[in-house]
Structure 1
């Protein structure tokens, strides 16, 4: 039986991802669940997606949709431009995709189309880029965008009283549906942490790779954490999203 890893936001940091997988000592028996945001940040956004497409031929991979992936897909398919996207890493992806031919771009569009909004494994663990808002669970959401934009799930567990029990009247119902929840989207560096953070049954695996942080993976059974070097050190001539 192979291992299962949840892997946090990449933001075009292909050098960091390759380094991380080497440190994991990846085998073809391992399952990789990527929590989204493969692009927008470092110069390797297009190369990162190419690498992930190839990786999925070797390993069992689950690719979740991040907000930056959704924005890039809209640009690739419809030429939609969002000024805030350009300011927060989008321009780096546009520059990267100018180096691809049309056949490669079509392969990438298909990759984005086939991403999942969320994934539930056989052990009732939920994997999602940002979170969900419906108290009855993600299957009951009215809009897909919350899965890759909404931050309230993470904000809620950060503010949660640690003494509150699951069967308490005031315990958040959202947290009761799953054994564990793995997310990205909001860098834990914002709360001065450098490794994946656990609050209640939620694990945040975004360790700020787009900025001054690392790319992180957590083995979901053992909770062993693996990390790359700080990604900005691997791209010394670039600014990323800093």
Structure 2
């Protein structure tokens, strides 16, 4: 039996992903769960998608869709260029597609559209890009955009009073639904942390690869994690999403 490895937001940093997999010594026995935001940030977004498509053929992979991926889908499918997306990595993503044929673009679009909104494994662990607001779980979510945008789940888990016990009437119902919850979306750099963070049973694996941080994967059983170098050092002539 291999490991179950969960991978944080990549944001066009193919060099970081390749380096990370080398350091984690990923094998075909490992199950790989990606938390979304594969594009926008560094210059190799289209190349990241191509790499993941090939990886999907040789490994057991689960791909969650992030908010940046949703923006990219709108552009590839409908030629919609969201203004916020364009200035937060979309421009470099569009440039990474310049030399791709229409056939390849269609293949990548199909790959994007097959991604999951969220995934629950056999141990009742939830994997989702951002979060959910319904106390009944993501399947009861009124607004599906919360899957890739919600931050309230993480903020709640991070600030929970640890004196409140799980059998208390005031313990958040959302946190009782799953054994563990794995998310990306909110960089740990926001809290001056460059490694995975835990709040209650929620694990945040986005260690800021889009900015000055590293790309991370974590073994969900042992909680051992591996990291790439900072993406900024791997792409020294680029700014990523740094302002």
- d(CA) in 1 for partners of 2:216, 2:95: 26
Deviations 1:193-233 (A, max 9, x none): 11000110000000000000000000001110110000110
1:48-197 equivalent positions in 2, closer than 5 A: 48-197=48-197
Q: Distance in 2 between matches of 1:167 and 1:79?
A: 50
Shift of 1:168: 1.1
Q: Is the 8 A contact 2:30 2:60 kept in 1?
A: yes
Normalised by the length of structure 1, the TM-score is 0.99
2:214 is aligned with 1:214: yes
CA distance in 2, matches of 1:84, 1:121: 33
> Unpaired runs of 5+ in structure 2?
none
In 1, the alpha carbon distance for the partners of 2:4 and 2:144 equals: 26
Distance 2:161 2:192 in 1: 20
SS in structure 1 at match of 2:39: coil
The structural deviation recorded for 1:99 is 1.9
2:37 — aligned with what? 37
- Secondary structure, in 3 states, of the residue corresponding to 2:28? coil
Higher alpha-carbon deviation: 63-72 or 98-107: 98-107
Q: Distance between the aligned counterparts of 2:176 and 2:117, measured in 1?
A: 20
Which runs of no fewer than 5 residues in structure 1 stay unpaired? none
After superposition, the C-alpha distances for 1:55-103 in whole angstroms (9 at most, x for unaligned) are 0111000000000000000000001111111111111101111121111
Q: Give the distance between the partners of 1:113 and 1:34, measured in 2 at CA.
A: 15
Taking the aligned partners of 1:139 and 1:38, their CA distance within structure 2 comes to 24
Deviation at 1:238, TM superposition (A): 0.3
Helix, strand or coil at the partner of 1:198: strand
Quick check: 1:233 aligned with 2:240? no
| Separation (CA, whole Å) in 1 of partners of 2:152 and 2:121 | 23
**1:6 is paired with a residue of what secondary structure?**
strand
Q: TM-score, normalised by structure 2?
A: 0.98
The ranges of structure 1 where at least 4 consecutive aligned residues each deviate by more than 3 angstroms after the TM superposition are none
> How far is 1:159 from its partner?
1.6
Shift of 1:143: 2.1
